[in-house]
Amino acid sequence: VISSMRIMMTEDSNNAVSSSFLLDDDSSIPFSVDDISKSMTEIEVTDVDMPPLIRENSGFTFLHQRKD
């Protein structure tokens, strides 16, 4: 996909060389999904108060049902 985009940029632009750096990024990430999940703090959503707009809208009644 990236090489196809690079070709399209070259064909469409006179100044493609200066813009091609946008496609040169490494798409890999230096950490795993497991690393991300371990770094996140756990939030208990039952302790979060819903905004009035959500509480008053009948389309969100499924959110009012809490596990006890």
Q: Which two tokens stand for residue 34?
A: 């497991």
Residue 59 structural domain:
2-63
Of the candidates 41, 53, 47, which has an alpha carbon nearest to the alpha carbon of residue 66? 47
> Looking at the 3D structure of the chain, how many domains does it have?
1
pLDDT tens for each residue of 4-45? 877 777 776 655 455 555 555 566 778 888 888 889 888 887
- Residue 46 belongs to some domain of the structure: yes
Is residue 20 included in any domain, yes or no?
yes
Distance of CA 37 to the CA centre of its chain: 15
Q: Are 12 and 30 in contact (CB under 8 A)?
A: no
**68 is a domain residue:** no
Q: What is the pLDDT of residue 6?
A: 74
The model carries a pTM of 0.30
C-alpha distances (whole Å) from 55 to each of 28, 31, 62, 65 are: 41, 38, 10, 11
> How is residue 65 written in tokens?
């049902």
Q: Is residue 40 a part of any domain in this protein? A: yes
- Please indicate, yes or no, if residue 19 is contained in any of the structural domains: yes
